[in-house]
Amino acid sequence: MVKASLSPASERTLYILGAGAIGSLWAAYGYQAGADIRLILRDQNTLGHYRQHGGIRLISANQTWLCPIPADCPESISTPIQHLLITTKAQQTLDALRCIKSHIATQAVMVLLQNGLGIVEQIRREFPRATVLQGSTTEACYQQNRFEYVHAGRGHTFIGSTENDQRTVLLELAESLSFPPLQLSVSDNIDAVLWRKLAINCVINPLTVIHRCRNGELLNSSERRAQIQQIVNEILALSSVLGRSEWVANLYELVTEVATTTAANRSSMLQDVEAGRDTEIDAITGYVCQLAEQHNTPAPMNKQLLDDIKRLPKVTRC
Ligand SMILES: NC(=O)c1ccc[n+]([C@@H]2O[C@H](COP(=O)([O-])OP(=O)(O)OC[C@H]3O[C@@H](n4cnc5c(N)ncnc54)[C@H](OP(=O)(O)O)[C@@H]3O)[C@@H](O)[C@H]2O)c1
């Protein structure tokens, strides 16, 4: 097993791949805390626009800061990447990593902080000697303008690993990525945290797209509540086959609670569909459908939602 450490000062730079809402949130608070951070932007053109803008602007609780965080694009990276926080959308992750593959140290430590499942296994296959840890956050952030982000809701972030001997790395990382007010904790069962989040997203994300509604409006009619129940039932059946029932025992109540506390929000999947962007459906509902098929467990409603959302039109970008 790879032993990784954050200690040597020369290897301390934290690179952030995916300088969108969540990546910029970490980068901006990290910058304010004096951490050694570099953003990795998509290309030279984006880097030029970023420099013209002067940095990331973070808006939080009526305060606004312009943070001139150092940034690179794949062509300009000049030191080996030892520590990498990955905050791309799930479907963007592998392409983005491949663009910087030659700069990633063989034994790099990566933290994958995103929704959806199935990506970490693909990263581990491409970077077999790297330490790849997973995280899940309930912080809420959205883009207001280019390179300008609003920290819209406070949450908590867990990181973890299924490998027991990575506890020391995890504790170091949790501390070094807890830029105030962001708080990270080590979870002893990150698989449970991620599965629960996936299950909730499987309900709220696709249904808000199908009904083109805000999260809270999912609870407005008996027809929508019945759809929630059906997705929940399919995930509970699959969880039972996988021995994960305990992780989602109160799933219907959890979904109702999230839909109520985030009632005014438009889910990220709805925002992506409305902007004609690719969605994270493959890593969310698609992941559940794949497991259901492997384990011969019926999941017709999830399958229907997967097909419906994948058929929606996308905007072609040059
Ligand atoms: N936002 C939230 O409040 C929130 C809360 C909890 C969890 N999450 C999860 O966190 C993850 C990130 O979400 P987000 O809202 O931060 O998404 P986002 O704003 O779309 O950020 C993703 C960023 O990745 C960049 N990217 C994509 N491909 C790249 C490449 N090849 N090279 C460099 N950069 C690349 C994108 O750049 P371009 O703009 O150039 O495409 C974009 O800036 C998702 O899994 C999401 O579900 C988000």
53, pLDDT greater than 90? yes
pLDDT digits (tens, 9 = 90+) for 268-286: 999 999 999 999 999 999 9
d(CA 23, CA 17): 7
The atom number, within ligand 1, closest to the CA of 22 reads 16
pLDDT band with cut points at 50, 70 and 90 for residue 316: low
Q: What is the pLDDT of residue 6?
A: 34
Picking from 136, 108, 112, 113, the residue whose alpha carbon sits closest to that of residue 122 is 112
pLDDT of 253: 98
User: What is the per-residue pLDDT for 109?
Assistant: 95
CB within 8 Å of 59: residues ≥ 6 apart: 144, 148, 149, 150, 151
Question: Does the pTM exceed 0.75?
Answer: yes
Higher-scoring residue by pLDDT: 51, 1: 51
Helices (H), the chain: 21-32, 44-53, 93-99, 119-126, 167-176, 190-210, 222-241, 251-261, 268-274, 285-294, 300-310
Q: What is the pLDDT of residues 56-96, one digit of tens each?
A: 999 998 899 999 999 999 999 999 999 999 999 999 999 99
Taking residues 238-254, report their average pLDDT.
Answer: 98
Work out the average pLDDT over 12-41. Answer: 97
Please state, as a whole number, how many other Cβ atoms lie within 10 Å of the Cβ of residue 206.
27
In this predicted structure, the answer to whether residue 8 has a pLDDT above a threshold of 80 is no
* Structure confidence by residue, pLDDT tens digits, 150-172: 999 999 999 998 776 678 889 99
Pocket test for ligand 1, best of 49, 72, 92 (most atoms within 8 A of CB): 92
The more confident residue out of 75 and 4 is 75
Q: Which residue's CA is the closest to the ligand 1 atom numbered 19?
A: 20
Task: State residue 164's pLDDT score.
Answer: 64
The residue assigned the tokens 């809420």 is 140
Task: Indicate if the pLDDT at residue 4 is higher than 50.
Answer: no
Which residue's CA is the closest to the ligand 1 atom numbered 40?
A: 42
Give the residue numbers marked as catalytic. 197
Domains in the chain, please, with CATH? Answer: 9-188 (3.40.50.720), 192-310 (1.10.1040.10)
Report which ligand 1 atom has the smallest distance to the Cα of 138.
6
> What per-residue confidence (pLDDT) applies to 7?
33
The per-residue pLDDT for 5 is 38
Lining residues, ligand 1, CB within 6 Å? 17-23, 40-42, 46, 87-90, 92, 95-96, 99, 114-115, 137, 139-141, 143, 268, 280
Ligand 1 atom 39: the closest Cα is on which residue? 20
The answer to whether the beta carbons of residues 39 and 22 sit under 8 Å apart is: no
Q: Which of 26, 7, 101, 27 is nearest to 70 (CA)?
A: 27
Which residue, by CA, sits nearest to atom 20 of ligand 1? 20
| pLDDT at residue 318, as a whole number | 43
